[in-house]
Structure 1
Amino acid sequence: MRNHRYFLQHGFTLVELMIVIAILGILYRIAMPNYTEHMLKSRRANIQQIMLQGSASLESHYSRNGRYPNEFATQDTEYYEFNYKSDNITFVLEAVPKGAQTADSCGTLMINHSGQQTAQTDNCWNG
């Protein structure tokens, strides 16, 4: 009679681990750009909403007082810095990206007294 010993394998082989790491790397390279773009768009949409609310507030002030205020209280966010310019009959409200948001191709977002919405590239206010 022969004495057969069977060894039970516990764990994974190095090749199996390398295959898993390679698959994770591929998934990361596919998913990360989509996630980053989604975050840029989400932050941009949020700041656009804030700008539209600010514009409505400025228009309300103009309706009551016949002029836009010289100063407008805007609070910078983690990803945008606000600038407000007015000559009492017109205004421009700007949101300048900062930090991680500088990767957004839309760049500085602007809205003026006539409701005109502009950015450095087209379709930034449309979605």
Structure 2
Amino acid sequence: MIRGGKGFTLIELLIALAIIATLVGIAYPRYTGHVKRTYRAEIVGMLTEQAQHLERYYTKNGTFIDAGGISAGNDRYRIAVTLNLQHFNLVATPIIDSVMMGDPCGDFSLSSSGERSNPGSAPDMSRKACWGQ
């Protein structure tokens, strides 16, 4: 049987496929980890902006109650706000079925005293890892 030199054998294609699958298996988790860090930084920025907005409102009005213009969040997190006379608390919770659902950082909480926490975070996650500070 005469073999033409044009084309690839099945074994060559399987080896190439195995190499590609190995590279994807290594690269994809790193990529998704980078994307999640970016989304965490985005929600930290949103919470900080909302806290600054609330502090400006308090400076003008002497209370946090009835402060308007508070963001509800984005496509990945919902922000819940608790307002009192002299205290506020912002909590960002991952939206169900978003890429951040099940993130080891859990929720992001920022209070008027500047306290930052992550309720529901994995035990091995530090505040620095979640808040980027």
Give the alignment's TM-score, normalised by structure 1. Answer: 0.88
Partner of 1:100: 99
* Cα deviations by residue, 1:79-113 (Å, 9 ceiling, x for unpaired): 10110011121110111012110132101001000
Which stretches in structure 2 are left out of the alignment for 5+ residues?
Answer: none
Q: How does 1:60-71 map to 2 (within 5 A)?
A: 60-70=56-66
2:43 is the alignment partner of 1:47: yes
For residues 84 and 75 of structure 1, the distance between their equivalents in structure 2, rounded to whole angstroms, comes to 9
Contact 2:72 2:79 in 1 (8 A): yes
Larger displacement relative to structure 2 (72-81 or 99-108): 72-81
Of 84, 91, 107, which residue of structure 2 is paired with 1:87?
Answer: 84
SS in 2 for 1:103: coil
* Cα deviations by residue, 1:15-47 (Å, 9 ceiling, x for unpaired): 000001000110111011101111111001011
Q: Figure out how many residues of one structure are paired with residues of the other and give that number.
A: 123
Identity %: 30
Larger displacement relative to structure 2 (72-81 or 83-92): 72-81
Per-residue deviation at 1:70?
3.4
Partner of 1:125: 131
For residues 7 and 32 of structure 1, the distance between their equivalents in structure 2, rounded to whole angstroms, comes to 39
SS in 1 for 2:80: strand
Which stretches in structure 1 are left out of the alignment for 5+ residues?
Answer: 1-5
Task: Name the aligned partner's letter for residue 115 of structure 1.
Answer: G
Task: Name the aligned partner's letter for residue 103 of structure 1.
Answer: G
For residues 67 and 88 of structure 1, the distance between their equivalents in structure 2, rounded to whole angstroms, comes to 5
Give the alignment's TM-score, normalised by structure 2. Answer: 0.84
Partner of 1:3: none
Task: Name the aligned partner's letter for residue 72 of structure 2.
Answer: Q
Larger displacement relative to structure 2 (71-80 or 86-95): 71-80
For the pair shown, the structure with the greater C-alpha radius of gyration is 1
